[in-house]
Amino acid sequence: MTRIRMDALTRRFGTVVALHEVSMDVQPGEFFTLLGPSGSGKSTLLRILAGLDAPSDGRLHFDADDVTRVPAWQRGVAMVFQNYALYPHMTVEQNIGYPLKIQRTRWYDITKRVKEVAEALQIDHLLKRKPSQISGGQQQRVALARAVARKPRLFLFDEPLSNLDARMRLEARSFIKKLQRDEGVTAIYVTHDQTEAMALSDRIAVLEGGHLRQVGAPREVYRNPLSPFVGTFVGHLPMNLVSGDVRGADVFVGGIRVADAGDAKGEVQVGVRPEDARWTDHGVPSRVLYWEDLGSEYLLTVDMQGQQVVVRHFGDPPKPNDPGFVLISHATVFAS
Amino acid sequence: MSRAPRTLLMGFFLAWFALPFVWLLSAPFSKTPGFRLAFPDFTLENFPRLLETRGALHAFGNSLLLAGVTMIVVGLTATLAAYALSRQSFRGRDLVLYLLVLFSSVVTGVAAVVPLFTITLKLGLLDTHLGVILVLCGGLLPTAMFVIKDFVDGIPRAYEEASLMDGATPWQTFRNVALPLSTGGLAVVSLLTFVSAWDNFLIPYILLRSPERFPASVAIYSFFNELGLPFLNVLAAYALLYTLPVLALYLIIQKVFGFELYGGIKG
C-alpha cells in the first residue's frame, strides 16, 4: 500500500498549461478517481503518476520516495490502458507473464503465478490464444491479469471500461473494485464517466481545464459541490442552476428561503439537484412545460418564474401547462 | 476498341516483355544459344563449363558477401535510427527526415561517382570489399530508414508504454516489443537492400580493381572473347544462376511473413 503525495504538479505543453499546480494526497489502499471531461488534464496527471510523462514543475512522492524523476520502469506501478495494449505477438500467457519475465523471475514461478492469476480472473482456458483471438471483455481481463501478476505498489487505470458495451461495463466495474480490494493496492482511476466514479471510488478528484476543482468522498462531492461546474458534471442528472438573492443571512429563490447565505451577498447562483425539488402544492409558483417518462419516475421540466428547472417526480404526472408549486428541500449556494 | 484487336495488342506487349524471361530460361539449356529464341536442344553442359570458367564461382561468393554484409549493416542501423526518428522528437528532426529523402535519391547516382571514388581512394579503401560495402550502405541507408520509420510510425505507442509500465527498460522494450512488431517492415527493407546490393554494377566496377574481388554483376562482363563477342553458353547459364538467390530470398520472406511484395524486384 502506497501513499501518494502530489505537490503543485504542473505540466505545460508549449504555451498551453495542461495541468495547473495540482496538489493532493492519496491514502494507502484507497480507490481514488480522477474525474473530468476531455481536456481537463486527468490523463496528463495519470501519465505523470505513471512516469510516462514528467511534470514541468512540482514534486511527486510515493511514500517517502521522491519519484518525480524516476523513470516509469523503475516505479513498480502497473497500468491498465484504455485499449488494453496487449502485445499482439505474444499469447495471453506470455502477456500476463511479461512483467515477471522482465524481473528475471524463474520460468517455473512465472508459469505458476500466471496460472494462479488467470484462474482468479477466469481466463485460464485462453492462455494459449493470441489477443486478437479473444473478445473485448476477455482482453480486458488479460490486461487486468497482467497488471496484477507482479504485485505492483500502485494500480493505474486509464478509462479501462470505455471500450466495453454497457452490460460488460457493469460486470467489469464490480470486478475491478473487487480486485483492488483483494490485492489491497492503492488505485488511481481515470474516467470521464461520473457514474463510474461514484460507484467505484473511495474519493473523487474533479478536474476542469487543468485545475483541481474539488476532492472528496463521492457523496460529499455530490451533495456539496464547490462550484457550478462540479455540480453539473457530477450526478447522473445535471444540477439545476437558478439565480437567487441574499437577504440578511438567508438565500431566497422565487421569494422562498432555500439555504443559509454564509459569506454570499447580493445576486447568487443556486444549485438544486432534480431530486431536491418537488412538484407539490406549496413553494415557488411554477408551470409544467413537458415531461419525460423514465418508467420508475417522471422528469418534469417546469418554468419556475422564468427559470427552467428539472424536477424528479413520482406518482401521476401533471399535464403540460398545469400550474403548481416547486418546493426546494436542499440547495447549494455558489458565491460568485 | 473491339475485343479482337485489343487482345492482339495485349498479346503483342505481353510477348515483348516475356521474351527476355523465356530466353533466360531456355538459353542456359541450349547447346548453341544465340540472341534468338529456339526450343533448346536440351543440355546441361553449360553449367559444368561455367564451373571451369576462371573466377565465375568466386565472383558469386563475392556477391553474396557484399550483398549479405550490406543487408545486415543496413538492416541493423536503419532499424535503430528509424526507431529513434519515429519515437523521439528532437530539434531538427524534420530537417533530418527531409535530408533523408533528398540523399536517398542522390548519393549513389552516377553524379556522385567521382567524389565517391576520391573519398574511397583517400581512405585507402580502393579495391577492398569494405570500401564497396560502405558506399553501398551509405546509398541504401536513407531509403531504408525512411521505409522502416514509416512502418514503425504505424505501430501504436501504447504497446511500448505498456512494456515500460511492466518494468522493462527502453532497450528491453525495443527488443521485446517494438522489434518483433516491426519485422514485416524489416523484412521488406532487408530484401530490397539485398537486391539493390546484389544488382549494383557501377559501384563495385568503379571501386574494385582486382578481378578476384569482382562480384557476379561485374564478373559477368568478363565473359567475352578478344573480339568482344560474348560466350553465350556461359553467359546464359550465369545469368540464370545470378537471379536465383534473389528469387530464393523473395520466396523465403513471402513464406515467413505471408505477404506479397510488388514492384521493384529485379534479378
Structural domain includes residue B4 = no
Among chain A residues, the shortest Cα distance to B164 is held by: A73
Task: Count the residues in chain B.
Answer: 267
Q: Which three cell numbers mark A191?
A: 474516467
**Would residue B54 count as lying in a domain?**
yes
User: Model-level pTM?
Assistant: 0.81
Nearest CA in chain B to A143: B162
- Distance between CA atoms of residues B248 and A115, nearest Å: 43
Task: State residue A296's pLDDT score.
Answer: 87
pLDDT (0 to 100) of residue A207: 96
pLDDT score for A217: 96
Residue A238, H or E segment: none
Contact across the interface for A76 and B167, Cβ inside 8 Å? yes
Higher pLDDT pick, A205 / A266: A205
Domains: count for chain B? 1
Would an 8 Å CB–CB cutoff place B176 in contact with chain A?
Answer: yes
Does residue B205 form part of some domain? Answer: yes
From the candidates B163, B164, B165, which should be mutated to test the interface with A, based on the most A CB atoms within 10 A? Answer: B165
pLDDT tops 90 at residue B66? yes
Whole-angstrom distance, CA of residue B48 vs CA of residue A238? 89
User: Is B29 inside any structural domain?
Assistant: no
Model pLDDT, residue B263: 40
Q: Mean pLDDT score of chain A, rounded to an integer?
A: 91
Confidence of residue B37 (pLDDT cuts 50, 70, 90): low
In this prediction, residue B266 carries a pLDDT of 36
pLDDT at B22 over 60: yes
Mean pLDDT in residue range B221-244: 77
Assign B228 a pLDDT band (cuts: 50, 70, 90): low
Q: Is residue B171 part of a domain?
A: yes
In a domain, B236, yes or no: yes
Contact B165 A98 (CB under 8 A): no
Q: What percent of chain B has pLDDT over 70?
A: 89
The average pLDDT across A211-222 equals 95
pLDDT at A139: 93
Range of the domain at B68: 48-257
Beta strands in chain A (DSSP E): 4-13, 16-26, 31-35, 57-62, 65-66, 77-80, 154-158, 186-191, 203-208, 211-216, 240-247, 250-253, 256-260, 267-272, 277-280, 284-293, 298-304, 307-313, 323-328, 332-334
| pLDDT at residue number B267 | 36
| Contacts of B82 by beta carbon, 8 Å cutoff, 6+ apart | B144, B145, B146, B147, B148, B149, B151, B152
For B95-122, how does the pLDDT look when each residue is reduced to its tens digit (9 = 90+)?
Answer: 888 887 777 666 556 778 888 899 999 9
Find the CB nearest A52 among B156, B164, B166.
Answer: B164
- The residue-averaged pLDDT of A179-185 equals 88
Check CB contact of B156 with chain A, cutoff 8 Å. yes
Stretch among A117-126, A268-277, B47-56, B234-243 having the lowest mean pLDDT: B47-56
B19 versus B78: the higher-pLDDT residue is: B78
The predicted structure's pLDDT at residue A322 = 83
Digit-coded pLDDT (tens) for B181-209: 888 888 889 998 999 999 899 999 999 98
| Cα–Cα distance for residue pair B160/B68, rounded to 1 Å | 31
Q: If you average pLDDT over residues A127-140, what whole number do you get?
A: 92
Cα dihedral across residues A208, A202, A224, A304: positive or negative = positive
CA dihedral B37, B41, B44, B49 (to 10 degrees): -70
Q: State the pLDDT confidence band at B262, using cuts at 50, 70 and 90.
A: very low
Which tens digit of pLDDT belongs to each residue from A293-312? 988 899 999 999 889 999 99
What is the average per-residue pLDDT within B142-171? 91
Q: Is B95 on the interface with A (CB under 8 A)?
A: no
Vertex A187 angle, CA A185 and A192, to 5°: 165
| Yes or no, beta carbons of B166 and A99 under 8 Å apart | yes
Q: Is the pLDDT of residue A172 over 60?
A: yes
Q: Cα-flanking dihedrals φ and ψ of residue A261, to 5°? A: -80, -30
Q: Is the pLDDT of residue B2 over 90?
A: no
CA distance A73 to chain B (A): 4
pLDDT recorded at residue A158: 93
Q: Kindly state the average pLDDT of the residues B206-234.
A: 80
pLDDT, mean of residues B18-27: 82
The enclosing domain of B185 has a CATH number of: 1.10.3720.10
pLDDT for the residue numbered A190: 96
* B25 occurs within a structural domain: no
Report the pLDDT value the prediction gives residue B39, as an integer from 0 to 100. Answer: 67
pLDDT at res. A256: 86
Separation of alpha carbons A295 and B147, rounded Å: 59
Does the beta-carbon distance from A51 to B177 stay under 8 Å?
Answer: no
CB contact under 8 A, B161 and A52: yes
- Domain membership of residue B183 (yes or no) is yes
Average pLDDT, chain B: 84
Under the banding of pLDDT at 50, 70 and 90, the label for residue A336 is low
